[in-house]
Chain A
Amino acid sequence: MINSLFLINHSGDIFLEKHWKSVISRSVCDYFFEAKEKAVEPENVPPVLQTPHHYLISIYRDKLFFLSVIQTEVPPLFVIEFLHRVAEMFQDYFGECSEMVIKDNVVIVYELLEEMLDNGFPLATESNVLKEMIRPPTILRSVVNTLTGSSNVGETLPTGQLSTIPWRRAGVKYTNNEAYFDVIEEIDAILDKSGTTVFAEIQGVIEACVKLSGMPDLTLSFMNPRLLDDVSFHPCVRFKRWESERVLSFIPPDGNFTLMTYHVSAQNLVAIPVYVKQNISFFESGSCGRLDLTVGPKQTMGKTVEGMMITVHMPKAVLSANLTATQGTYTYDLATKVLVWDIGKLNPQKLPNLRGSLSLQSGAPKPEENPSLNIDLKIQQLAISGLKVNRLDMYGEKYKPFKGVKYVTKAGKFQVIRHDWTVFLACKGKP
Chain B
Amino acid sequence: PHHVSTNSGIFSVLRNEDLKEMLESSKESLKLEAMKRIVGLIAKGKNASELFPAVVKNVASKNIELKKLVYVYLVRYAEEQQDLALLSISTFQRALKDPNQLIRASALRVLSSIRVPIIVPIMMLAIKEAATDLSPYVRKTSAHAIQKLYSLDPEQKEQLIEVIEKLLKDKSTLVAGSVVMAFEEVCPDRIDLIHKNYRKLCNLLVDVEEWGQVVIISMLTRYARTQFTSPWKEGATFDENNEKAFYDSEEEKKDQVEAKPYVMDPDHRLLLRNTKPLLQSRNTAVVMSVAQLYWHLAPKHEVSVVTKSLVRLLRSHREVQYIVLQNIATMSIQRKGMFEPYMKSFYVRSTDATHIKTLKLEILTNLANEANISTILREFQTYVKSQDKAFAAATIQAIGRCATNISEVTDTCLNGLVLLLSNRDETVVAESVVVIKKLLQMQPTQHCEIIKHMAKLFDNITVSMARASILWLIGEYCERVPKIAPDVLRKMAKSFTAEEDIVKLQTVNLAAKLYLTNSKQTKLLTQYILNLGKYDQNYDIRDRTRFIRQLIVPNEKSGALSKYARRILLAPKPAPVLESAFKDRDRFQLGTLSHSLNIKATGYLELSDWPAVAPDQSVRNVEVIEPVGSLPSLLLTYSVAVVHTCRIDSQNCYFTVSYKSLSPQLVSVNIPTFGPVKSHELLHHMTGKGLSARYHFPRQPCLYQPNMVAVQVTLTNGSDHSLEEIHIGDRSPASLNLHCFNTIERLEPEASVTVSMGIDFSDSTQAANFQLCTKDDQFSVSIQPAVGELLMPSSMTEQDFCKEQGKLLGMNETSATITLAAENSSSQSLSKQVLSVANVGVVSSSENNIHRFAGRTVSSGALVLVTAESRESSTALLTINTDKSIMASMLLRDLKQALAQA
Contacts and interface: CB of A to CB of B under 8 A. Distances in A.
Interface of A: 1, 14-19, 21-23, 26, 39, 41, 43-44, 46-48, 50, 55, 58-61, 70-78, 80-82, 84, 103-107, 109-111, 114, 118-119, 121-123, 125, 137, 142-143, 145-149, 151-155, 157-159, 161-166, 170, 190, 198-199, 203, 214-215, 229-235, 238-244, 251, 258, 261, 263, 266, 313, 315-316, 365, 368-369, 372, 396, 413, 415, 417, 419-420, 423-431
B416 A198 contact: no
Interface in B121-173: 135-137, 141, 144-145, 147-148, 151, 173
A44 B353 contact: yes
Contacts of B44: 15-17
Given A164-B885, A426-B412, 10 more contacts: A1-B181, A44-B353, A47-B322, A55-B593, A55-B597, A103-B11, A121-B211, A157-B102, A420-B385, A425-B380
B308 interface: yes
**Nearest 10 A/B pairs, CB to CB:** A149-B29, A151-B65, A240-B733, A72-B603, A159-B811, A427-B374, A153-B65, A244-B732, A239-B277, A425-B416
Contact of A229 (B76, B308, B315, B408): B308
Interface stretch (B32-40, B294-302, B739-747): B32-40
A149 B28 contact: yes
A230 B309 contact: yes
A177 to B, nearest CB: 16
B6 A142 contact: yes
A70 B315 contact: no
A152 B68 CA distance: 11
A214 B889 contact: yes
B386 interface: yes
A104 B7 contact: yes
A122 B802 CA distance: 35
B64 interface: yes
A239 B323 CA distance: 26
Contacts of B382: 417, 419-420
Contacts of B285: 75, 77-78, 80-81
Given A198-B344, A233-B281, A316-B387, A164 B886 contact: yes
Contacts of A234: 282
B794 interface: no
Interface of B: 4-8, 10-11, 27-30, 32-33, 36, 39-40, 42-45, 63-66, 68-69, 71-72, 76, 79, 100-102, 109, 112-113, 115, 135-137, 141, 144-145, 147-148, 151, 173-174, 178, 181, 206-207, 209-211, 214, 218, 277-278, 280-285, 287-289, 308-309, 311-312, 315, 317-320, 322-324, 344, 347, 349-351, 353-355, 370, 373-374, 377-378, 380-382, 385-387, 399, 408-409, 412-413, 416, 419-420, 424, 591-594, 596-597, 599, 601-605, 732-735, 766, 769, 810-812, 883-886, 889-890, 893
B324 to A, nearest CB: 8
A2 B359 CA distance: 26
Contacts of A75: 214, 218, 285, 288-289, 591-593
B892 to A, nearest CB: 10
Contact of A428 (B65, B178, B385, B412): B412
Contact of A149 (B27, B71, B416): B27
B109 to A, nearest CB: 6
Contacts of A232: 280-282, 287, 309, 312
Nearest to B604: A73
Contact of B350 (A71, A158, A239, A313): A313
A214 B814 CA distance: 12
A106 B39 contact: yes
Contact of A81 (B40, B115, B283): B283
A109 B10 CA distance: 13
A123 B140 CA distance: 10
6 contacts: A18-B43, A47-B319, A71-B602, A104-B7, A244-B732, A425-B413
A76 B4 CA distance: 44
Given A106-B10, A244-B733, A369-B385, A70 B317 contact: no
B214 A110 contact: no
A154 B288 CA distance: 36
Contact of B811 (A72, A123, A162): A162
Contact of B281 (A18, A149, A235): A235
Contacts of B207: 164
A118 B101 contact: no
Given A137-B7, A142-B6, A396-B890, A121 B181 contact: yes
A280 to B, nearest CB: 15
Contacts of A426: 412
A48 B593 contact: yes
Contacts of A315: 387
Contacts of A152: 65
A424 B350 contact: no
B325 to A, nearest CB: 11
B45 A17 contact: yes
Nearest to A397: B893
A93 B374 CA distance: 51
Contacts of B766: 238, 240-241
Given A157-B810, A164-B884, A243 B732 contact: yes
